[in-house]
Amino acid sequence: MTYKQYQIGGNSVEKTVAIELRGITKTFGDVVANKNVDLDVYEGEILSILGENGSGKTTLMNMIAGIYFPDAGHIYINGEEVVIKSPKDAFAHKIGMIHQHFKLVDTFSAADNIILGEKCPKFDLKEEKAKLVEAHRAENEAYENYDEAEHPGPLAYMAKPKFHPEKETKRKLALMPLVGIGRRIKFNWLAKKRADVVQDIANRFGFKIDLKKKIYDMSVSEKQTVEIIKVLYRGADILILDEPTAVLTPQEIDKLFDVLRNMKAAGKSIIIITHKLNEVMAISDRVAVLRKGEHIATVNTSETNEQELTEMMVGKKVSLNIDRAEPHDVKNRLVVSGLSAVDADGVKVLDDISFEARSGEILGIAGIAGSGQRQLLEAIAGLYKVKDGTITYFDPAKDDAPVDLRSKTPVQIRDLGVRLSFVPEDRLGMGLVGNMDLIDNMMLRSYRKGFMFLDRKSPKKLAETIVEELEVVTPSTHTAVRKLSGGNVQKVLVGREIAASPSVLMAAYPVRGLDINSSYTIYNLLNEQKEKGVAVIFVGEDLDVLIELCDRILVICAGKVTGVVDGRRAIKEQIGLLMTKTAGDVDENQMSIDDLHDTNNDEGGEAL
Amino acid sequence: MFWTFLTSTIKFSTLFLYGSVGETITEKSGHLNLGIPGIMCLGAIGGCYGVRSYIDSLGSLSQMSGFAVVLVGMICAFLFAALGGMIFSFFTVTLRCNQNITGLTITTFGVALNSLMLSKIDKTGFYEAGRLFSKGIVDANTTDGLVKVLFSQSALVYIAIAIAIITAIVIKRTRVGLNLRAVGENPATADAAGISVGKYRYLATLIGSGIAGFGGLFFIMDYLTGNIEYGIDTYGWLAVALVIFTIWKPNWAILGSIIFAALYRAPSYLNIGFTEREVIKMLPYIVTVLVLIITSIFGRKSVQPPAALGTTYFREER
Amino acid sequence: MRSVTGKESKFDAFVDKLKKESPIHIAKRMDAPKWLPIVIRIAAVIVAFLVCAIVTVFFEPTAFGTFFTEMFRGTFGTERRVINLFWEAAILLLIALAVTPAFKMKFWNIGAEGQVLMGALMSATCIFYLGGKVSEGGLIVLCLLASVVGSAGWTLIPALFKAKWNTNETLFTLMLNYIATALISLVITVWVKSGSGVVGIMPYGHLPKLGGQDYVLNILIVAFVTVLVWVYLKFSKHGYELSVVGESINTAKYIGISVPKVIIRTMIFSGALCGVAGWLLVNGASYTISTTIAGGRGFTAILISWLAHFDPIIMAITSFLVAFMGRGAAQVSTIANIGGSFEDIATSIFFFIIIASEFFVNYKVKFSFSHSKKKVEGETTENTSEDDSSDAEMMSDTSQTTDSEAQTNEIFDESVPELQTCQSSEDRTCDVSTQNKEVTE
């Protein structure tokens, strides 16, 4: 096997390349997810893949893990070109990926999950027979050549080779199939101590986990550990972790990082997909930055800093030419203060969030996916349980009288006369019903009007208006929305929400997955609403869009507000840094890398 | 009196035991086979036709061998019932149909076929065959006490208990069982781990149905000693209830089936009126519902139905 | 010896190839023409009748010729038979209508049999205790009320547990069927002291005969209920809410529907209709009560509702076909001397074939015996692709379909040598045509 030798940076350290990507390209329809990506991963290193949402990190890694197949390009493992068509192939090349959603059977113990699906080692009868014959022949030979004089001592007879007569060999050969069956039965039997074998592997890598515990009794971080052990147990040498820290608490992250370092020490190559800069700095040896599907650069972590990485990640400012009018008649419409919420596992998802949304303004919410944006909007809409804090609406119809919205159901909110529209992130799973036609979907908002029976006339009119004005491409208003393309689905949803003439309009990732034209339609709609005096809340992920569209941008990170910036004066890098900081404000950005390393190591030491 | 009651209760419980062990295996794979009463009927048909052809192949009834007649009956019952399971799996796995409606149709089919086919069969020799089926190690009429309870039972009773115990061990302590449970709990995960969900569901349903089929054979040949006038479907539903009652544990089913059988048999041994009898007959279903409610309210995860029970799995619709 | 091994390995390779390149490819129909499902279903009905005819021959070799004529004679032979046929269809339809709202909500209620029995029991109870003491008209109305309340209450039990503790409703309602049956036996033992278990025809509370015929009023009532349910499902707010709950619990919450409330309300409605069915069976047909009064119609109706995709009009047609099959087969079995339960066999064969036809409505099956190595297929995804990143989803406008498409391909394709991306349904069709081309090659 030929290993390629590479030089890293200026150092003369030579490392073996474990996996090599050359010219990998992947497109989905018209959208390029990855374009001509070259990437090397060395043995015994931790490589971070850094990029914003939509930069193509996960798609790239999925191609190594066999979930997608590249349209073009080559993958080399240990210097040899390989074709990875399925996760099975990836396993055969000792590549294991830990996804964000765990694949575990809840009612099984961790150990059982790890050994699940293990195949019985092949028992080749012919081969085994040949082995037996050979073993007997060798021993007989040794017996004949054995010279007792060479081995003195009273216990020498014990080491003396035995002679196997032909009869014995024949008998054993005849019984060979039974041995095969026996092994199968033995393999099939789940010994009580099966957990110990797995536990040993876990201990070797320094996992602190009881593998006899049932999955349903485990925390998210424990489940993740089980997934990692599962991959290791199957003998993976290259581990890919897809945003492993997204679901973990800081202490758990430290533990995870220790485990990753142990695995690195054991010679494994580890790739972690992330968009958190501090983690990149803390854990990785090198960082590969992707932006809009392209590989920007791979740098040694020790030779870079967060500022530089952010610049690479967000890129130069791109002008989008979104018309932004000056806000007029600005009044507080929705005031949130000290809002906190926890998820089903008791993890804080919103932590003391305060802000105000003003009429005639677009308030952008920036943040890495999963920082609490969804929960925040749902809490305001009455769909997510609030633990602490207040949500106050100032009713324009009643001379801006305050209305308390906290812990109200959506129906109660509407009955209070609050005109709140919400375009949720999950369009077909929440905002619309995929199997219903346009008219029935329009009715979701209006069906309560009238007595007993549905009024389909006005929804039909509305559907027709939306189709016409927003240029929705659909065979008719009787088509199930599931059959429309993403952009058209979104137009239907936003159109419906706007038709309710809201005074507050919340939109979560309204342009996700949309082409340029549809995106601009949505921007224009939001701007129109703003000019009508609506308080618009826009959760976005493209910083260029946020900066050009929004009047103010609220940046949140891990459920906390890390800053509010003026959309007209905001700088991309500044927002990027706010998004990735767990605490503090802009001024603290210049914390040195060494400090970061130290703190992490210290905390890690304490945690374990 | 008590020993006679216990003996006949254990004998009767075998019917439920076969049905519920078979259904448990099936449900562990995520298949809610509501066709089990029909499949037990198919087993009865198979068994009867097997015995019929065996008797026909003999010169006279006196040549009948107990071992051979039981064996032939069991093989035929298994094959016929497994055919029912095959139909069920074909519809739900291959054709991806709804399990409830497929199961209900199989029940209608099996029950109807049972009463039709068995009304056409020639019953000569069935009584003698039935005697051979129900023969115990000791004669039930001459002994009493624990010896009678334990040793006067017929071969099919012992086989039922053996199957229940083996099934429990296989499910709990082998990789095959582990994989089977994974398929029933979380087919997507099982699939990702390289376990063929379809194969496991097919096999579990085939074997489970075959075992349930023994119940049909037992009922006609052993319990009723070859009298084929009665239908099995009501008892089939009790077998389904028993699966819930024993929270999907075949070893518990041994005890559970005895409890069910005792409730069913008790009225004939107690000096009570018709109304009270009906109340007692209702009890198995009521306790089953109670078990279902209690497990859902307080239920730890380990006593829940298999999580994927009743759902059709194919990759693109996860 | 060597040559044998060679053959073996060749054979193995062949088997491997077969395993890898399964000749049967199954894919979900995306944009089937509207007429296709109808044609498939009509074909299925025809096949079902033919199969039944063949099965009849299996029992009675001379019966094939007479099968179809007897089917019609048994159903349309006399005026009486026609009314019987329509009554049978009507009662099946009524129960099917009753279970439909629940099914549409994805509440798998298989307890219709028990719910009908409870309705019947309540009605019979009224007749038993009040018969002769109140006026006939009053008694009938009282019976109806009692049936509706009793049956709705019975249905409410599993609904409450489902709404509150998510108790498995399929198993729960199944068990309730047998509790209801046992309850009837119990009540009968109270009423009939002799222990015979048979309640004779009760002289009170008979529904009036319209035009001197039995069942005519019953059929009219069912027709009325059909319209009612159709309107309820299609035009009422309740019907709309329950279909939203059935489609997506998240959407229901988003627009502020209280899911437990809808579950309970719908189940009460469903139970009330079962009660009407029980009332019709007692007051309009058998004038007595027994454990077999519902006669398995509760289960048959579930099949009908399901196969009609919860559409009341298709349900009416299906009910009619099932009733026709049952009555016709009963006549055939009398003439050909097959045996009493032949009608059930015929009905279940009918159902088997219709259930199977649903597969062909929803999926297309492609056969390709091409051994060409270069097969163009969709991209390979494993079942993990649900997790595959917001990245990919964001990148693509058509990502919604991408995933399902990709997985559709995956199901039959684990190891295709060369792969190509395929995105939208248009791409898919081109993909299909490519493949067909190869087959012809």
Domain range annotation of chain B = 2-313
Whether C390 and chain A come into contact, CB under 8 Å, resolves to yes
Do residue C285 and residue C383 come from a single domain?
no
- Give domain status of residue C35, yes or no: no
The residue ranking higher by pLDDT, A158 or C146, is: C146
Whether B176 and chain C come into contact, CB under 8 Å, resolves to no
Largest CA distance in chain A: 113
Do residue C188 and residue C246 come from a single domain?
yes
Question: What is the nearest CA distance from B89 to chain A, expressed in angstroms?
Answer: 22
- Which residues of B fall below an 8 Å CB-CB distance to A? 172-179, 181-182, 185-186, 188-190, 192-195, 301-302, 304, 307
What is the number of domains present in chain C?
2
- Give domain status of residue A370, yes or no: yes
Closest CA to B211 of B252, B264, B165, B258: B165
Do residue C327 and residue C414 come from a single domain?
no
CB atoms B192 and C303 under 8 Å: no
Question: What is the nearest CA distance from C422 to chain A, expressed in angstroms?
Answer: 8
Is there a contact between A222 and A209 (Cβ–Cβ < 8 Å)?
A: yes
Structure-block tokens of residue A8: 């890293």
Q: Which residues pair with A41 in a beta bridge?
A: A19
- Give domain status of residue A424, yes or no: no
Query: What distance in Å separates the CA atoms of residue B138 and residue B225, rounded to the nearest whole number?
Result: 17
* CB interface of B with C, residues 232-251, below 8 Å: 234, 237-238, 240-241, 244
- Give domain status of residue C28, yes or no: no
Query: For C406, which residue in chain B has the nearest alpha carbon?
Result: B316
Is there a contact between A82 and A93 (Cβ–Cβ < 8 Å)?
A: yes
**Residue ending a domain, choose from A147, A178, A213:** A213
Q: What is the pLDDT of residue C91?
A: 94
Question: What is the nearest CA distance from C172 to chain B, expressed in angstroms?
Answer: 6
Query: What distance in Å separates the CA atoms of residue A438 and residue A478, rounded to the nearest whole number?
Result: 6
CB atoms C383 and B237 under 8 Å: no
Whether A369 and chain C come into contact, CB under 8 Å, resolves to yes
What is the number of domains present in chain A?
4
Residue C33 has pLDDT above 60, yes or no: yes
- Give domain status of residue C332, yes or no: yes
Residue C412 has pLDDT above 50, yes or no: no
Q: What is the pLDDT of residue A435?
A: 87
Q: Which residues of B touch C166 (CB under 8 A)?
A: 296
CB atoms C397 and A29 under 8 Å: yes
Do residue A361 and residue A307 come from a single domain?
no
Q: Alpha helices, DSSP H only, in A500-567? A: 516-531, 543-549
The strand pair at A535-539 and A504-508 is best described as: parallel
| CA distances for B78 relative to A181, A380, A412, angstroms | 25, 61, 60
Is there a contact between B176 and B29 (Cβ–Cβ < 8 Å)?
A: no
Give the domain extent around C296: 40-363
Closest CA to A479 of A498, A469, A492: A492
Which among A107, A117, A188 has the least Cβ separation from residue B174?
A: A188
Residue C211 has pLDDT above 80, yes or no: no
Closest CA to A120 of C284, B244, B175: B175
CB atoms C400 and A444 under 8 Å: no
CB atoms B275 and C189 under 8 Å: yes
Do residue C345 and residue C375 come from a single domain?
no
**Residue ending a domain, choose from C337, C363, C389:** C363
The residue ranking higher by pLDDT, B5 or A601, is: B5
Q: What is the pLDDT of residue C374?
A: 38
Question: What is the nearest CA distance from C406 to chain A, expressed in angstroms?
Answer: 9
CB atoms C421 and A414 under 8 Å: no
Q: What is the pLDDT of residue A544?
A: 81
Query: What distance in Å separates the CA atoms of residue A443 and residue A457, rounded to the nearest whole number?
Result: 10
Is there a contact between A243 and A64 (Cβ–Cβ < 8 Å)?
A: no
Query: For C350, which residue in chain B has the nearest alpha carbon?
Result: B105
Closest CA to A164 of A148, A185, A142: A142
Q: What is the pLDDT of residue B161?
A: 95
Do residue A83 and residue A178 come from a single domain?
no
CB atoms B189 and A104 under 8 Å: yes
Most confident option among A159-168, A516-525, B235-244:
B235-244
Query: What distance in Å separates the CA atoms of residue A123 and residue A126, rounded to the nearest whole number?
Result: 9
Whether C296 and chain B come into contact, CB under 8 Å, resolves to yes
Which among B97, B102, B240 has the least Cβ separation from residue C174?
A: B240
Please give the model's pTM, rounded to 2 decimal places: 0.81
CB atoms C190 and B275 under 8 Å: yes
Query: What distance in Å separates the CA atoms of residue B115 and residue B117, rounded to the nearest whole number?
Result: 6
CB atoms B189 and A116 under 8 Å: yes
Residue C19 has pLDDT above 70, yes or no: no
Do residue C83 and residue C203 come from a single domain?
yes
Do residue A453 and residue A473 come from a single domain?
yes
Whether A116 and chain B come into contact, CB under 8 Å, resolves to yes
* CB interface of A with C, residues 527-586, below 8 Å: 541
* CB interface of A with C, residues 156-195, below 8 Å: none
| pLDDT tens readout for residues A359-368 | 889 999 988 7
Do residue C398 and residue C262 come from a single domain?
no
What is the C-alpha R_g of chain A? 31
Do residue A364 and residue A505 come from a single domain?
yes
Do residue A415 and residue A509 come from a single domain?
yes
Average pLDDT over residues C266-278: 94
CB atoms A189 and B192 under 8 Å: no
Residue A594 has pLDDT above 50, yes or no: no
pLDDT band at C13 (very low <50, low <70, confident <90, very high): low
CB atoms B101 and C307 under 8 Å: yes
Do residue C89 and residue C215 come from a single domain?
yes
Q: What is the pLDDT of residue B22?
A: 96
Do residue C289 and residue C425 come from a single domain?
no
| pLDDT tens readout for residues C296-355 | 899 999 999 988 888 898 999 999 999 999 888 888 888 877 777 888 899 999 999 999
Which among C189, C296, C344 has the least Cβ separation from residue B278?
A: C189
**Residue ending a domain, choose from C318, C348, C363:** C363
- Top residue of A86, A102, A106, A107 to mutate, by most chain B CBs within 10 Å, is A107
Do residue C421 and residue C324 come from a single domain?
no
Query: For A85, which residue in chain C has the nearest alpha carbon?
Result: C380
Do residue C95 and residue C19 come from a single domain?
no
- Give domain status of residue C30, yes or no: no
Hey, is A504 helix, strand or coil?
A: strand
Hey, is C135 helix, strand or coil?
A: coil
| pLDDT tens readout for residues C281-299 | 999 888 889 888 888 899 9
Q: Count interface pairs A-B at CB distance under 8 A.
A: 63
Do residue A392 and residue A408 come from a single domain?
yes
- Give domain status of residue A207, yes or no: yes
Do residue A59 and residue A123 come from a single domain?
no
What is the C-alpha R_g of chain C? 27
- Chain C: touching chains (3 or more CB pairs < 8 Å): A, B
CB atoms A486 and C399 under 8 Å: yes
CB atoms A436 and C397 under 8 Å: no
- Give domain status of residue A341, yes or no: yes
Q: What is the pLDDT of residue A120?
A: 78
Do residue A166 and residue A282 come from a single domain?
no
CB atoms A28 and C392 under 8 Å: yes
The residue ranking higher by pLDDT, C408 or C242, is: C242
Do residue A341 and residue A227 come from a single domain?
no
Residue C389 has pLDDT above 50, yes or no: no
Structure-block tokens of residue B5: 């009651």
- Give domain status of residue C398, yes or no: yes
Closest CA to A77 of A16, A6, A18: A18
Do residue C97 and residue C141 come from a single domain?
yes
The strand ranges marked E within A462-582 are 504-508, 535-539, 552-557, 560-566
Query: What distance in Å separates the CA atoms of residue C243 and residue C264, rounded to the nearest whole number?
Result: 14
Hey, is C397 helix, strand or coil?
A: coil
The strand ranges marked E within C220-261 are none
**Residue ending a domain, choose from A450, A483, A500:** A500
| pLDDT tens readout for residues A249-297 | 777 888 889 888 988 988 889 999 887 777 888 899 999 999 888 898 8
Structure-block tokens of residue B21: 């062990």
Do residue A34 and residue A151 come from a single domain?
no
* CB interface of C with A, residues 21-40, below 8 Å: 31
Which among C255, C399, C424 has the least Cβ separation from residue A444?
A: C255
Give the domain extent around A140: 115-213
* CB interface of A with C, residues 100-159, below 8 Å: 100-101, 103
Residue A584 has pLDDT above 70, yes or no: no
- Give domain status of residue C376, yes or no: yes
Q: What is the pLDDT of residue B2?
A: 83
Query: For C246, which residue in chain A has the nearest alpha carbon?
Result: A433
Q: Which residues of A touch B304 (CB under 8 A)?
A: 107
Q: Residue A252: CB partners within 8 Å, gap ≥ 6?
A: A219, A221
CB atoms C392 and A33 under 8 Å: yes
Q: Which residues of C touch A480 (CB under 8 A)?
A: none
Query: What distance in Å separates the CA atoms of residue C130 and residue B107, rounded to the nearest whole number?
Result: 38
CB atoms A86 and C237 under 8 Å: no
Domain made up of B2-313: CATH architecture: Orthogonal Bundle (1.10)
Which among A445, A454, A515 has the least Cβ separation from residue C397?
A: A515
Query: For A53, which residue in chain C has the nearest alpha carbon?
Result: C391
Closest CA to A246 of A269, A264, A265, A223: A223
CB atoms C303 and B105 under 8 Å: yes
pLDDT band at B254 (very low <50, low <70, confident <90, very high): very high
**Residue ending a domain, choose from C363, C395, C415:** C363
- Give domain status of residue C9, yes or no: yes
Do residue C328 and residue C418 come from a single domain?
no
Q: Which residues of C touch A34 (CB under 8 A)?
A: none
| pLDDT tens readout for residues A404-444 | 888 888 888 888 888 889 999 888 888 899 888 889 998 88
* CB interface of C with B, residues 81-110, below 8 Å: 108, 110
Structure-block tokens of residue B130: 């039935």
Q: What is the pLDDT of residue C402?
A: 36
% of chain C with per-residue pLDDT over 70: 76
Hey, is C316 helix, strand or coil?
A: helix
Burial track C155-183 (b if 16+ CB lie within 10 A, e otherwise)? bebbbebbbeeebbbbbbbbbbbbbbbbb
Residue C237 belongs to a domain with what CATH number? 1.10.3470
Q: Which residues of C touch B238 (CB under 8 A)?
A: 178
Angle among Cα A438, A443, A448 to the nearest 5 degrees reads 175
Whether B272 and chain C come into contact, CB under 8 Å, resolves to no
Do residue A161 and residue A289 come from a single domain?
no
The residue ranking higher by pLDDT, A162 or B50, is: B50
